[in-house]
Structure 1
Amino acid sequence: MSTTMTTESGRTGTDPVEGPGAVVLDGVTKHYGEATAVREMSLSIEPGEFISLLGPSGCGKTTTLRMIAGFEQPDAGDIRVSGRSVLGVPAYRRDVNTVFQAYALFPHMSVAENVAYGLQQRRTPKAEIRERVASALDLVQMRRFADRKSTQLSGGQQQRIALARALVNRPSVLLLDEPLGALDRQLREEMQLELKLLQSRLGITFVFVTHDQGEALSMSDRIAIMRDGRIEQLADADTVYARPSSAYVAAFVGQQNFIEGALTASRDGIATAHGIVQATTARPDLPAGSVAQAAIRPEFVEVADASAAGEDAPTRPNLVRGTLIGVSHLGETMQYLVRVGDDLSVIARRPTPDAPRLAVGDEVVCSWRTESVQLFALDAAAAEAGYVEPPTN
C-alpha cells in the first residue's frame, strides 16, 4: 500500500520512484512490550538525499534506524530499500551499512584490516579487497594510516575509519547513529562539514540520527523532527527553523522565548500580565480567549536601557520591562537574560559589534517586531523546554 505525504519543502511521497538508495517506510509501527516506540510512521527518502531524524531520547529515531538496518523488525507496516521490501531480510543482506557512535574497531587489527574485515567475510577476492580498501581510505583521507593500529588513532581518525569500513561495501544507503557524539565540539563541527562533503561527492543516501539540532541543521537536505514515535514535522532546515509547525518543533529547534496568554478577539495576538504580544499572522483555528503560546527567538529580541523606552512603553505591544540578571559573551553574539516580573525570563542575543553595553542590575526594556512572533496552541512540553527559570535571589 502506498501512502501520501506532502512535505513543506514541496516533495510528495506518493508512489515514489524507488531507485537505488530510496528508502520508504509505509505505516511502520514498533512495540516493545506495552510501549510503542514508533507509531504508524510513513516516510519517503529519495535516492542521494541526506535526511536527519532529530529528536530527544526516547522519541523513536534510533528504533527507526535499526528497523531500516535490519537489527529490529516492525510489528506492522512495510520498509522498502531501493524499491524492495526488506521485511524478514537479515541485516547483512540489505543494501545498507551502519556507522554507530561506538566505532567498534578491532584493536588488534590495523586500519586496513579493520576496513577489509567485511569484504573478507564475504570472501571477496584479495586483489579486489586491496583496491576497495585503498579507495575507501582515500575517501576519508586516511590511506597513510593504513598500517597503524586503531588504538593509535585519535577520536576523529577512528570515526573516519568507521566510515571507510561502512563505505567499502558500497551500500546504496548509509545509516549513521549519532556517530559524532563522542567527539569534542571543534572536531565534531569539522566532521559535520566533512560528512556533508563526502555525501555530496558519493551521491549515496545518508540517514542520520541525532539529538543535536546543530548537526541536523548544518548537514541535512531535510529534517524529520520526531516526537513520541511520530514525525512532528518534515521539511528542510530553513523551514523547520523559520516556520515550525508546532510549539514542540519551535522549542526543539533553536531556542525560543515562550510567553503564555489569552488569544485576543482578532486571534493574532495574546494578552498577558506583561502586555500584548502581537503577531502578523492570525490563528483562526484557535478559539479567541483560549490559552496560547507566543514564541520569539532570542536573536529577534532587542534590549535597551529602560530610559530609552518612552512614556508610552507600558501600553505598546511587543515590549516588556525588566531587570537585567545576566550577560554572557558568546563570541560573535552577546546574550542578555532579563527577568520580567516573577514569572517570566526573556533571552536576547545581539551581534557583538552592535550589542548595547549594559550591566547586571540595569532596568531594561525588551522589544521585538510583530513578524518575529509565532503563535501556537498551548503545549506544556514545549513550554517547559522553552522556559528559563529566573534566579531566586
Structure 2
Amino acid sequence: MADSAPAATAPDTGNTTGGVEIVGVTKRYGDSIAVDNLSLSIQPGEFLSLLGPSGCGKTTTLRMIAGFEHPDSGDISISGRSVLGLPPYKREVNTVFQAYALFPHMSVAENVAYGLQQRGVPKAEQRQRVAEALDMVQLRRFADRKPTMLSGGQQQRIALSRALINRPSVLLLDEPLAALDRQLREEMQVELKLLQARLGTTFVFVTHDQGEALSMSDRIAVMRAGRIEQLDGPEQIYAAPASAYVASFIGQQNFVQGTVAAGGAAIDTDLGVIAGPWGGERVSPGGSAVAAIRPEFIRLESAGSTANGADARVLSVSYLGETLQVVVGAGEQTLLVRTPAPTAPSVRVDDDVRCVWSPDDVRLFATDGAPLASTHVITLPDRSGT
C-alpha cells in the first residue's frame, strides 16, 4: 500500500487556479489516525473522486481542504498558495455536505442567491444566475417555495445549486447525491459532469458509491485507513486494480481464496487450479492469495464441459432488463455470473452447469487480511439423498 500508485495523467490547464496540493498531511483524533501522511496533487479543472468505506479518511481529507479541520502536520495549498490557518470563508472553495443547511425562512430562490447577495452581485445578474442554477437541478418551478415544502432530495439539490452559483475555484462535494432517488441521481451525475466541464471548476467528490466515481471522475483515489491505495483513471482502476482491496471496491468481483502453486502463475483453490496474471504485489509459491473474476467474464456452459473453469449448480436466476444475473454454487463457494440477456443461456434453479472463464480475465492478488467487499461464501444444502 502506498500514498499514491502509478496514476493516470490528470488534466493540465497550464495554470494553478483551482489546483490543490496536499503534502504529507496527517490528522489524528486522539490515538486514532484518520489521515496518514497523505500526499495528493489535484490539477486545475480536474474531477477527482475520493472513494472508500466509512472511516477511510475521505471526508476528513475533504474537510481539511475546506478548512473545517486542520492537519496535525503537512501542508495544503489551493491555487498555488498554502491555506494553513485560513478560515473556510477565505478559501477559494465552496462545500456541499450531506446536511442541507438551508435557511427555512427564505424561498428556494433566496437560498440560492444568498452567496451572491453577500458578494454584492447586481440584482439583475442575481436573477439570471439563480434561474440558471435552478434549471440545472430541475427546480425552477419551485423558486418561490420554502425549502421545508420540498422533499429531502430536492433540498439537497438546492444546496448543490447554492454552492455552484458562486463558481468557486474548487467545489468540494461530500456525497451530495445520496438523498436522491436512483433515476434522478443518475441524471444529476451526467449534469454535474457536464457542468464541471463547462465551468472548468475543480471538483473533489467524496463517495462510497463506485458507480458514481466511475461515471464522473477524471481520476479516482481509492482510500484505505487514511492512505491512498490506488490513484488512477476509472478505466485503469476497473481493469487493472492494484490490490484485492481496490478490486473489491470497483465493480463486483468473485473472490476465490487459495495457495500459490509452484511456478507462481496460478493458485490452488477448492474450485481447482486458477491461473491468471498478478495484480499488484506477487506472492511466492505456498503463500496465500486470492483470485478475482468479474461476473461479466464468466460464461455458463452445459454440465460435462471440460473448458477451463469449475462445475456448479444454479442457485438463483434474476432478469435485470438488459442483463441476466445467475448465482451458482460450486462446493461452498458462490459465484455471481452476469451475461447480456439476449444471448444468455437458458438455465433454471438446480441446473448443473459449468462456469467457464479465460485466464486473461482473472487477476491474482496477495491477501492481507482486509475484508473483501464482494466475497460470498455459503454452505450449500446436502443433496446426496435427493
Task: Please indicate, yes or no, whether the TM-score normalized by the shorter chain is above 0.5.
Answer: yes
Match of 2:26 among 24, 29, 49: 29
Alignment partners' CA distance in 2, 1:180 and 1:267? 44
Match of 1:365 among 354, 371, 379: 354
Asked whether the equivalents of residues 267 and 283 of structure 1 are also in contact (C-alpha less than 8 Å), the reply is: no
Q: Determine whether 1:331 maps to 2:321.
A: yes
Distance change in 2, residues 1:131/1:263 (3 Å): same
Alpha-carbon distance, 1:196 to partner: 0.9
Code of the residue aligned with 2:91 in structure 1: it is: R
Q: Give 3-state SS (helix, strand or coil) of 1:78's partner.
A: strand
Q: Determine whether 1:8 maps to 2:7.
A: yes
Match of 1:381 among 361, 367, 370: 370
- How far does the alpha carbon of each residue in 1:49-105 deviate from its partner, in whole angstroms, 9 at most, with x for none? 101000000000000000001100000100001111110100111100011122222
- How far does the alpha carbon of each residue in 1:140-177 deviate from its partner, in whole angstroms, 9 at most, with x for none? 45445432222333455433321221122221000011
Distance change in 2, residues 1:155/1:187 (3 Å): farther
Report how many residues are paired: 379
Code of the residue aligned with 1:9 in structure 2: it is: A
Q: Determine whether 1:354 maps to 2:343.
A: yes
Q: Determine whether 1:225 maps to 2:222.
A: yes
What is residue 105 of structure 1 aligned with on the other side? Answer: 102
Code of the residue aligned with 1:146 in structure 2: it is: A
TM-score normalized by the length of structure 1: 0.89
The CA RMSD over aligned residues, in Å, is: 2.4
What is residue 384 of structure 2 aligned with on the other side? Answer: none
Alignment partners' CA distance in 2, 1:157 and 1:59? 29
Q: Indicate the larger mover: 153-162 or 325-334.
A: 153-162
Code of the residue aligned with 2:339 in structure 1: it is: R
TM-score normalized by the length of structure 2: 0.91
Q: Give 3-state SS (helix, strand or coil) of 2:63's partner.
A: helix
- How far does the alpha carbon of each residue in 1:89-135 deviate from its partner, in whole angstroms, 9 at most, with x for none? 00111100011122222222112210122333455565664454445
Q: Determine whether 1:305 maps to 2:293.
A: no
Q: Indicate the larger mover: 217-226 or 154-163.
A: 154-163
What is residue 378 of structure 2 aligned with on the other side? Answer: 390
Asked whether the equivalents of residues 23 and 80 of structure 1 are also in contact (C-alpha less than 8 Å), the reply is: yes
Match of 2:16 among 19, 23, 30: 19
- How far does the alpha carbon of each residue in 1:174-227 deviate from its partner, in whole angstroms, 9 at most, with x for none? 001100111111111111111111111111001000000000000000000000
Code of the residue aligned with 1:340 in structure 2: it is: A
Alignment partners' CA distance in 2, 1:104 and 1:391? 48
Alignment partners' CA distance in 1, 2:83 and 2:35? 17
What is residue 263 of structure 1 aligned with on the other side? Answer: 260
Asked whether the equivalents of residues 264 and 285 of structure 2 are also in contact (C-alpha less than 8 Å), the reply is: yes
Percent of residue pairs bearing the same amino acid type: 61
Q: Determine whether 1:274 maps to 2:271.
A: yes
What is residue 251 of structure 1 aligned with on the other side? Answer: 248
The answer to which structure, 1 or 2, has the higher relative contact order (CA under 8 A, 6+ apart) is: 2
Alpha-carbon distance, 1:9 to partner: 1.2
Alignment partners' CA distance in 2, 1:363 and 1:332? 24
What is residue 197 of structure 1 aligned with on the other side? Answer: 194
Alignment partners' CA distance in 2, 1:33 and 1:53? 24
Alignment partners' CA distance in 2, 1:155 and 1:288? 54
What is residue 333 of structure 2 aligned with on the other side? Answer: 344
Alpha-carbon distance, 1:24 to partner: 0.8
Alignment partners' CA distance in 1, 2:63 and 2:285? 44
Distance change in 2, residues 1:32/1:113 (3 Å): same
Match of 2:92 among 92, 95, 114: 95
Alignment partners' CA distance in 2, 1:71 and 1:117? 21
Q: Determine whether 1:64 maps to 2:61.
A: yes
Asked whether the equivalents of residues 21 and 40 of structure 2 are also in contact (C-alpha less than 8 Å), the reply is: yes
Distance change in 2, residues 1:11/1:108 (3 Å): closer
Distance change in 2, residues 1:119/1:373 (3 Å): same
Q: Give 3-state SS (helix, strand or coil) of 1:381's partner.
A: coil
Asked whether the equivalents of residues 222 and 230 of structure 2 are also in contact (C-alpha less than 8 Å), the reply is: yes
